[in-house]
Amino acid sequence: MGGRVAYRPKKADAERVGALRLKLSQTREWQRAQAIMNEIVVAVGKYRGQIVVPRQCKACGFFGHTRANCEVAERRQAEREEMELCREIRGFARYADEVERAEAQRLRDQAEDRRKGKVTQGEMYEKLGIAWSEHPHGLGAFPTWYVEGRKDLTAQ
Ligand SMILES: [Zn+2]
């Protein structure tokens, strides 16, 4: 196989090794971690005079696990994703507000124009007998052939 040697405790030593592993996971000091690791190697009956260097997590700095199975890193990642989602939602809300405001303004302008006796663009097209549609970006009335011919405007 090669690669990392797994130091799995025998049943009798399991409790002691469990307690040592817990201690290992609660330190960020490498000297202390190394001392605990030495104890673990002995406790599992694998001591042959070698030094087994404990793994230190690059995310939280504690020993005995890596970034790949770090709860702190996992929590940070979840928080980042949540913040990202919140930003997106705020962005959508802002965009919806802007669209709503623009539409309200357009209706006010239209009412004002009507009050002044002006005809809307749409009414103008109707008088001219030209089929018309609202521009998908809220730019007002355009001949239908134009809007239809610009499907890329509506595809968002
Ligand atoms: Zn960690």
Q: How far apart, in Å, are the Cα atoms of 4 and each of 82, 145, 155, 156?
A: 35, 69, 53, 51
What local confidence, expressed as pLDDT, does residue 155 receive? Answer: 57
The answer on pLDDT for 89 being more than 60 is yes
Together in a domain, 103 and 144:
no
Our measurement of the distance from residue 27's CA atom to the centroid of its chain's CA atoms, rounded to an integer in Å, reads 30
pLDDT at position 144 over 80: yes
For 136, the domain range is: 119-156
C-alpha 58 to ligand 1 mean position (Å): 7
> In the predicted model, is pLDDT for residue 32 greater than 90?
yes
Q: Would 2 be classed as within a structural domain?
A: no
Residue 3 lies in a domain: no
Give 39-42's long-range contacts (Cβ < 8 A, gap of 24+).
40/7, 41/7
pLDDT of residue 105: 95
The backbone region for 133, taken as left when phi is positive above 0, alpha when psi lies in -120 to 50, beta otherwise, is: beta
Ligand 1 centroid–CA 127 distance in Å is 72
Q: What is the pLDDT of residues 46-80, one digit of tens each?
A: 788 888 999 999 999 999 999 999 999 999 999 99
Alpha carbons 140 and 118: distance in angstroms, whole number: 15
Residue 1 lies in a domain: no
Is residue 16 domain-shared with residue 62, that is, in the same domain?
yes
In a domain, 4, yes or no: no
State the distance from the centre of ligand 1 to the C-alpha of 85, rounded, in angstroms. 24
pLDDT for residue 153: 64
Q: Are residues 102 and 56 in the same domain?
A: no
From ligand 1's centre to the CA of 56, what distance in Å?
A: 8
Q: Verify that 76 and 123 share a domain, yes or no.
A: no
- Ligand 1 centroid distance, CA of 71 (Å): 6
CB 131 within 8 A of CB 120: no
Q: What is the pTM of this model?
A: 0.51
Is there a single domain that holds both residue 100 and residue 124? no
CA of 52 to the centre of ligand 1 (A): 19
Question: What was the pLDDT predicted at 4?
Answer: 58
pLDDT confidence bin for 7, thresholds 50/70/90:
low
- Residue 46's nearest CA partner among 15, 14, 8 is 8
Query: Are residues 47 and 61 located together in one domain of the fold?
Result: yes
Report how far ligand 1's centroid is from the alpha carbon of 54 (Å).
13
Residue 50 alpha carbon to ligand 1 centre in Å: 25
Assign residue 134 a region: left if phi > 0, alpha if psi is -120 to 50, beta otherwise?
beta
Q: How far is the CA of 13 from the centre of ligand 1 (A)?
A: 25
Count of domains observed in the chain? 3
In-domain check, residue 145: yes
Ligand 1 centroid to 66 CA: how many Å? Answer: 6
Residues whose CB falls within 8 Å of the CB of residue 147, separated by 6 or more in sequence, listed in order: 133, 134, 135, 136, 153, 154
CB 136 within 8 A of CB 147: yes
Is residue 92 domain-shared with residue 109, that is, in the same domain? yes
